[in-house]
Amino acid sequence: MKRQLISSRGNQHFKHLKKLSESPRYRYEVQQTILDGIHLIESYAQRFGSPDSVALIQGSDINKISGYLNEDTQVLEFPAGLFSEIAPVMSPTGILASINIPHLDAPKKQNCILLLENIQDPGNLGSILRSASASGVDLVYLSDHCADLWSPKVLRGGQGAHFYLPCVENAVFSDITNTFEGKIFATELTGKSIFKENLKGPVAFIFGNEGSGLQSETISLTSHSIHIPMEMGIESLNVSAAVSICLYEKYRQENFSD
């Protein structure tokens, strides 16, 4: 690895990391993003090897991640003040990495896919991807008004899901549902209880925006309507909670029922 101390805002590495942290457009142009914290960096490295560069507060212990780095990895040290300017979230962990955005191939056989329409809260999107990856979803499609998939906040919420779960951005849902050979579910108040529905075999779940739900033209793409039962006074669940319940009910039916 190549160590370097950077103390100027004019430095090219500083400028690059700051733009990765702040600009979705720049991340898309250079096809890189930034990981915040040791857990995400480890998760990435276990799957893909060394990140492109690692950034630390000057004087930090490099040993905790040096096992993941190779001789070409740039190790960039910054004074604390400068580091805080590139740290993308509220509670910086003192270690960042820049990576090339990985492109995961979709499996040919798809038993469970997830379509997300306009999920705008980065924490919700990250949490959904985490549950999706954990429950064995094969592929996620995101509509064009979702939170930025590779933003530091969504990565943080995903806790490594991004590195295992293939995701397609800016998806046109009708193209997918027209060719998908399986049941296509959306949650609606008038739907059948999810616990009475057969979720085995190829299934697509479509979930909509936190406030406004699914657009009516998207509902028309579905073949089945399901509902998570709720007690009096509560009309809906947080979208990440609802997704997690549906995905794990499918998982349960396929792995833990007769």
Query: Would you call 41 helix, strand, or coil by DSSP?
Result: helix
Which are the contacts of 48, defined by CB distance < 8 A and separation ≥ 6? 99, 102, 163
Rounded-to-integer distance, Cα 240 and Cα 65, Å: 31
Binding to its own copies (CB under 8 A): which residues in 186-205? 193, 195-196
Which range in 17-25, 49-57, 200-208, 231-239 contacts its own copies by CB under 8 A?
Answer: 231-239
Give yes or no for residue 255 binding its own copies (CB under 8 A).
yes
Q: Which two tokens stand for residue 1?
A: 């690895």
Question: For its own copies, which is the closer residue by CB, 44 or 141?
Answer: 44
Q: 125-163 as b/e, with b when 16 or more CB fall inside 10 Å?
A: bbbbbbbbbbbebbbbbbbeebbbbbbbbbbbbbbbbbb
- Tell me, residue by residue from 138 to 167, as one string, x for binding to its own copies by CB under 8 A and - for no binding: -------------------x-xxx-xx---
| Shortest separation between residue 195's beta carbon and its own copies, angstroms | 4
Binding to its own copies (CB under 8 A): which residues in 58-117? none
How many CB atoms sit inside 10 A of residue 193's CB? 10
| Helix ranges (DSSP H) in the chain | 12-22, 24-30, 38-48, 63-66, 80-86, 122-134, 152-158, 173-179, 216-219, 239-256
| Shortest separation between residue 200's beta carbon and its own copies, angstroms | 14
Give yes or no for residue 4 binding its own copies (CB under 8 A).
no
Q: Which two tokens stand for residue 182?
A: 């399986």
Which range in 22-30, 109-117, 200-208, 222-230 contacts its own copies by CB under 8 A?
Answer: 222-230
| Shortest separation between residue 105's beta carbon and its own copies, angstroms | 15
Q: Which two tokens stand for residue 31?
A: 């096809």
The closest of 169, 172, 156 to 217, measured between CA atoms, is 172
Question: For its own copies, which is the closer residue by CB, 3 or 64?
Answer: 64
Give yes or no for residue 233 binding its own copies (CB under 8 A).
yes
Question: For its own copies, which is the closer residue by CB, 219 or 245?
Answer: 245
Sheet with strand 53-57: strands edge to edge? 2-5, 74-78, 53-57, 95-100, 32-36
Which range in 11-19, 51-59, 78-86, 236-244 contacts its own copies by CB under 8 A?
Answer: 236-244
Question: For its own copies, which is the closer residue by CB, 173 or 207?
Answer: 207
Q: Which two tokens stand for residue 118?
A: 């306009």
Positions that interact with its own copies (CB under 8 A): 43, 47, 121, 123, 126-127, 130-131, 133-136, 157, 159-161, 163-164, 193, 195-196, 228-238, 240-245, 248-249, 251-252, 255-256
